[in-house]
């Protein structure tokens, strides 16, 4: 089935199941406008919600947003706290919208080092929305790809020690089941804003075969139209997964 958005025709049978988004450029957006960095994150938060809202018309099943990486702990405390307050806002003020629209919210990351009240708020809403299976809003939060893999390795070793699995059983599929949210499929399309050509430790295991689309636009200026352009581009690619 075909559907048109902003004069761009999309073949809905070919759209990605899972889009991962590296929302980059909030700081530079603010700087360009002579604003403090947190203003960029504030606008970025609004754009995130706009894309989720717009996606109701497109129908991408899973959207993952890179909201806080393990490397972001190196930022000034004030900025970290601001990002935490946005995460809390998402789980509290935005909660109603998630419930009304039956959107499942998953938190993809580690609880390590996070303030306990934030852990409770985020993982409570994950629990509350876990039965929704139409759309998943996946917040990649306090996340590092290498940490995810190491956390998985530790769990595998535990299971081997406790005779729950044999080493021979371990293959890619089995190992995936030890990662944070095994039920979330691989990323089909990875969008990165602000023109940087990097993966930045984002969903390392799941981006193995992702198609990558980069725009120079800073995240706070990203629009549904660009979202559609990325999807259109994806639907026109030939994915070979290493085959000829």
Q: Give contact residues for ligand FPP (rule: CB under 6 A).
A: 23-28, 41, 44-45, 48, 67-68, 72, 83, 86-87, 90, 219
Q: What three-state secondary structure class fits 151?
A: helix
Q: Catalytic pick from 11, 13, 24, 138?
A: 24
* DSSP characters over 62-77: EEEEEEEEGGGGGS-H
Dihedral, CA atoms, 223, 4, 135, 145, nearest 10 degrees?
-50
Q: Catalytic pick from 13, 55, 72, 171?
A: 72
Nearer to ligand FPP, 83 or 187 (CB): 83
Rounded to an integer, what distance in angstroms lies between the CA atom of residue 105 and that of residue 132? 9
Nearer to ligand FPP, 222 or 234 (CB): 222
Of 191, 215, 182, nearest to 16 (Cα)? 191
Nearer to ligand FPP, 126 or 152 (CB): 126
For the bound state, the minimum distance from the C-beta of residue 159 to ligand FPP, rounded and expressed in Å, comes to 32
Rounded to an integer, what distance in angstroms lies between the CA atom of residue 186 and that of residue 19? 9
For the bound state, the minimum distance from the C-beta of residue 185 to ligand FPP, rounded and expressed in Å, comes to 22
For the bound state, the minimum distance from the C-beta of residue 193 to ligand FPP, rounded and expressed in Å, comes to 9
Verify whether residue 24 is a known catalytic residue: yes
Verify whether residue 201 is a known catalytic residue: no
Rounded to an integer, what distance in angstroms lies between the CA atom of residue 127 and that of residue 174? 24
Report, as residue numbers or ranges, the catalytic residues.
24, 72
């Amino acid at each position: 089935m075909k559907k048109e958005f902003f004069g761009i025709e999309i073949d809905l049978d070919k759209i990605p199941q899972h889009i991962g988004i590296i929302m980059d450029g909030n700081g530079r957006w603010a700087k360009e406008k002579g604003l403090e960095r947190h203003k960029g994150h504030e606008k970025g938060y609004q754009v995130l919600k706009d894309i989720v809202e717009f996606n109701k018309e497109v129908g991408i099943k899973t959207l993952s947003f890179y909201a806080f990486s393990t490397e972001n702990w190196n930022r000034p405390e004030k900025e970290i706290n601001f990002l935490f307050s946005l995460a809390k806002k998402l789980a509290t003020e935005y909660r109603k919208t998630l419930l009304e629209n039956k959107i499942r919210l998953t938190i993809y990351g580690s609880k390590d080092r996070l303030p306990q009240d934030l852990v409770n708020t985020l993982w409570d809403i994950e629990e509350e929305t876990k039965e929704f299976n139409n759309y998943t809003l996946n917040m990649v939060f306090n996340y590092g790809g290498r940490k995810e893999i190491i956390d998985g390795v530790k769990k595998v070793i535990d299971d081997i020690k406790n005779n729950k699995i044999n080493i021979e059983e371990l293959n890619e599929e089995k190992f995936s089941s030890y990662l944070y949210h095994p039920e979330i499929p691989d990323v089909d399309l990875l969008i990165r804003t602000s023109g940087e050509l990097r993966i930045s430790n984002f969903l390392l295991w799941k981006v193995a075969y992702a198609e990558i689309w980069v725009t120079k636009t800073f995240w706070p200026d990203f629009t549904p139209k660009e979202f559609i352009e990325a999807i259109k581009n994806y639907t026109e690619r030939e994915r070979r997964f290493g085959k000829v």
